[in-house]
């Protein structure tokens, strides 16, 4: 497997603040999402990605995160294997986001 493009939570936050055009996908479970979420993210749990792939726009940059980076890496590889070309994994996931004390939606 080739290495995944990745982004830090600080760089992701900067992209959000700048209003960059991308789709942010959260592949955690609904109970995790209910505890804390990044504003503008779309919840599509990892197991639902194949069934909900049409909700992810292949023409847009896609940034994927989970709790720590493992599930989002699997989702990113799945998308790349299915023809997506602009997919980035968030290093450290929600744990890193919270550790950096960045704002959440809830």
Show the beta-strand stretches assigned E in 1-106: 6-7, 22-26, 42-43, 61-65, 87-90
The tokens of 70 are what? Answer: 């493992």
* Calpha distance 90→12 (Å, rounded): 8
The residues annotated as belonging to the active site are 66
């Amino acid at each position: 497997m080739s290495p995944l493009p990745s982004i830090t939570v600080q760089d992701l936050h900067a992209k959000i603040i700048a209003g960059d055009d991308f789709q942010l996908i959260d592949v955690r479970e609904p109970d995790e999402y209910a505890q804390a979420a990044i504003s503008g993210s779309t919840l599509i749990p990892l197991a639902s990605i194949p069934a909900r792939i049409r909700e992810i726009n292949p023409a847009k940059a896609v940034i994927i995160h989970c709790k720590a980076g493992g599930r989002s890496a699997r989702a990113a590889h799945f998308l790349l294997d299915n023809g997506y070309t602009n997919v980035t994994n968030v290093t450290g996931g929600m744990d890193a986001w919270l550790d950096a004390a960045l704002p959440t939606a809830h």
